[in-house]
Chains A and B, each alone.
Chain A
């Protein structure tokens, strides 16, 4: 198995940067790509032949937000049904409703509050 391919979807560049550092620190063999919104993520998925193994999705974003992205992602079909593809929510939302709503989605593997910590990354790795 090659490096774990990770896609970060967050409108905050600094958060993406920090999450990348943390991920690269814990997962030695990984490739991290960043996009700044839901639409950019959809474009990324349609233009890249290979699907990311892990998607970390923020919820509150301008333009297409995390919830809308989940809908479009499901419609897209690509990458969704393949095994060993996981989507996690990483959000600064503190609303219980958001958590309940989004974790009910079958595509969502886990829910973390920002910032991503080592234990979260271990949880992601445990899927493989």
Chain B
């Protein structure tokens, strides 16, 4: 110590000590208190005069009195700046004998009167409470929770951890986390662990890897691990939560199996549908060909000709039904294997115009009116063919099921809901139908509600299939004698 430093006046020293936010106690070689700042007075409940010259053990609970002088002597033999207690929990006693947890920093100071120890004392009651609360939270968690420090040492576990891994608390705390991880993973595990400390992201769930925990009995359990970095006064730690996913994996296995069975059954049914459609088509073609030959023959007399014509009519209906099945199969196939790349941006007016061209003769012959309100919607991004099909089927239905007693007016409205979603309303003043009777069956395949009007029972089924395939929604409202309103919500298949 230089003479300059010893010149530090007592006044300066007092100023520094008094302005410290911590309680500060100076103790001499004999263990007697040489100084006691006002913070210390506040903390311990003594006034300075009570303690100066007293043994420092005055500030320590009775149960430590026996050992403390020894520790004190050791410190004076090898004085250094350090924390007291070497990791043990420390307690102080107030004048009224109540105890409180503390943390103490020790600082040797050489003065003209010999070496003194400056003990800086912090009341950690609040911190301890917070720690207790943390422990309680961890304890009450439904998962196994393990607090691990930077060195990979387990510092805290909860009861769920004991249950999951079959260890007692004492067998885990203080040991490496590696003991809970199967040996075959241990090679790369510490690396991964260090990486996590280097860049601790907020809650990480380990996904996409098959992770296992190792039980005390040697059994491995599939787990999902969540890692959560937390800062503590003991440094950065990781709170790891382990969820036993044995049951989940079993469920997934069952679902997977059922899914593949369903797929096989579905493929089989689809094959069957194709084959029966094909097998029916062949004889229909044959019968039609034979009937045509008879109809062309000059030897057939008028009554038979009538019968043959009726038969021809039946055959054509069969052909139409058969084609309907095939159209549905193809549409389903197309929708299932749809590629969003097929979607194109196009003008809504152009789509509607293309539908009007297909339906022109029907619109003109029935004198129907189409009132269009685009509400500023110009472009839509969707596969042309499917949107055309939706509009075509709904408009064709409106015309087909018009009320012959009044002029048909179809209202077509487009509306943009947000960047990606559109709403279309197609409303008519046609025959309408009984909602209570038709509601559930309306979109079913080959369902028809107007027996006296020719139809295939496919139109609405096709519309619904397309809307469903693109995650849209379709709603219908109808009243007999008033008309029918369809409302469709569609989303762009590509998110721009």
Whether the pair B281, A114 counts as a contact (CB closer than 8 A) is yes
Report how far A114 CA is from B323 CA in the complex, Å: 13
Interface stretch (choices B15-23, B124-132, B286-294, B472-480): B286-294
Which residues of chain A are near B282, meaning CB under 8 Å?
Answer: 12, 15, 92, 114
- 1/0 contact string of A13-51 vs chain B (CB within 8 Å): 011001001000000000000000000000000000000
- Knowing A94-B326, A96-B330, the reply to whether A15 touches B285 (Cβ < 8 A) is yes
Report the Cα distance A21→B285, complex, angstroms. 14
Chain B residues with Cβ below 8 Å from A15 are: 282, 285-286, 289
A114–B285 Cα distance when bound, in Å, is 7
A residues near B274, Cβ cutoff 8 Å: 94-95
Q: Which of B285, B290, B330 contacts A92 (CB 8 A)?
A: B285
Task: Tell me whether A103 is interfacial, beta carbon within 8 Å.
Answer: no
Residue of B nearest to A10 (CB): B282
Task: Name the CB-closest residue of A to B326.
Answer: A94
- Asked whether, in the complex, the Cβ of A115 is within 8 Å of the Cβ of B278, the reply is no
Q: How far is the CB of A47 from chain B (nearest CB, A)?
A: 28
- Kindly identify, within residues 246 to 302 of chain B, every residue whose CB is under 8 Å from any CB belonging to chain A: 274, 277-278, 281-283, 285-286, 288-290, 293
Determine the distance from Cα of A94 to Cα of B290 in the docked complex, in whole angstroms.
Answer: 22
Per-residue B-contact encoding for A84-115, CB less than 8 Å = 1, 0 else: 00000000111110000000000000000011
Q: Who on chain A is nearest to B323 by CB? A: A94
- Minimum CB–CB distance from A59 to chain B (whole Å) comes to 9
Cα distance, A92 to B286, chains bound together (Å) = 11
The answer to whether A18 touches B277 (Cβ under 8 A) is no
Interface residues of A in 66-98 (CB under 8 A from B): 92-96
- For the complex, give the distance between the alpha carbons of A15 and B279 in Å: 13
- When distances are taken between beta carbons in the complex, the residues of chain B under 8 Å from A92 are 278, 281-282, 285
Residues of B near A60 (CB, < 8 A) are 278
The answer, among A14, A18, A93, A96, for a CB contact under 8 Å with B278, is A93
Closest A residue by C-beta to B325: A94
Q: Which residues of A have CB within 8 Å of B278?
A: 60, 92-94
B 303-335 to A, binary, CB cutoff 8 A, 1 in contact else 0: 000000000000000000000001001100000
Q: Roughly how many angstroms separate A115 CA and B329 CA in the complex, as a whole number?
A: 21
Interface residues on A, range: 10 to 19
* Complex CA distance for A63 and B330, rounded to whole angstroms: 27
A92 to B281, CA, bound (A): 7
What residues of B have a CB within 8 angstroms of the CB of A114 in the complex?
281-282, 285
A96 to chain B: closest residue by CB? B330
CA distance A49 to B164 in the complex (A): 82
Q: Chain B nearest CB: distance from A116 CB in Å?
A: 10
Q: Would B281 and A18 count as touching, CB distance under 8 A?
A: no
CA distance A8 to B99 in the complex (A): 108
Residues from chain B with Cβ under 8 Å of A12 in the complex:
282-283, 286
Q: How far is the CB of B207 from chain A (nearest CB, A)?
A: 37
**Chain B residue at minimum C-beta to C-beta distance from A59:** B278
- Are A14 and B277 in contact (CB-based, < 8 A)? no
Q: Which residues of A contact B281 (CB under 8 A)?
A: 92, 94, 114
| Known A92-B282, A114-B281; contact A14-B330, beta-carbon cutoff 8 A | no
In the bound complex, how far is the Cα of B417 from the Cα of A39, in angstroms?
62
State A15–B285 Cα separation when bound (angstroms): 8
- The reply to whether A115 and B326 contact each other, CB–CB distance below 8 Å, is no
Closest chain A residue, CB of each to CB of B287? A14
* B290 A18 Cβ-Cβ under 8 A: yes
CB distance from B175 to the nearest CB of A (A): 62
How far apart are A62's CB and chain B's nearest CB, in angstroms?
A: 11
- Which residue among B286, B288, B329 has the maximum number of chain A CB atoms within 10 Å of its CB? B286
Cα–Cα, bound, A114→B286 (Å): 9
User: Looking at the complex, which one of B286, B326, B329, B330 makes contact with A18 (CB distance below 8 Å)?
Assistant: B286
- A58 smallest CB distance to B (angstroms): 9
Set of chain A residues within 8 Å of B286, measured between Cβ atoms:
12, 14-15, 18
Find out whether the CB atom of B293 lies under 8 angstroms from the CB atom of A94.
no
Point out the residues of chain B lying under 8 angstroms from A14, CB to CB: 283, 286, 289-290
The interface residues of chain A lying within 8 Å CB-to-CB of B293 are: 18, 21
Closest residue of chain A to B281 (Cβ to Cβ) is A92
Complex Cα–Cα for A14 and B290 (A): 8
- Give the distance to chain A from B68, nearest Cβ to Cβ, in Å: 90
- Cα distance, A93 to B285, chains bound together (Å): 12
List A contacts of B330 (CB < 8 A).
94, 96
**Once the chains are docked, how many angstroms separate the CA of A121 from the CA of B293?**
18
Report Cα–Cα, A14/B284, bound state, in Å.
11
Question: Chain B residues near A93 (CB, 8 Å)?
Answer: 278
Bound: A7/B165 CA distance, A: 77
The answer for the CA separation of A14 and B330 in the assembled complex, in Å, is: 28
A115, B285: Cβ atoms closer than 8 Å? yes
Give CA–CA (A12, B4) in the complex, Å: 121
Least Cβ distance of B192 to chain A in Å?
47
In the assembly, what is the distance between CA of A14 and CA of B282, in Å?
A: 10
CB distance from B337 to the nearest CB of A (A): 11
What 1/0 mask marks residues of chain B from 51 to 95 whose CB sits below 8 Å from any chain A CB?
A: 000000000000000000000000000000000000000000000
22 contacts between A and B (CB under 8 A): A12-B282, A12-B286, A14-B283, A14-B289, A15-B282, A15-B289, A18-B286, A18-B290, A18-B293, A21-B289, A21-B293, A60-B278, A92-B278, A92-B285, A93-B278, A94-B281, A94-B326, A94-B329, A94-B330, A95-B274, A114-B281, A114-B285
Q: A18-B289, A114-B282 are in contact. List 16 more A-B contacts (CB 8 A).
A: A12-B282, A14-B283, A15-B282, A15-B289, A18-B285, A18-B286, A18-B290, A21-B293, A60-B278, A92-B281, A92-B282, A94-B277, A94-B329, A114-B285, A115-B288, A115-B289
5 closest Cβ contacts across the A-B interface? A18-B289, A14-B286, A92-B281, A94-B326, A115-B285
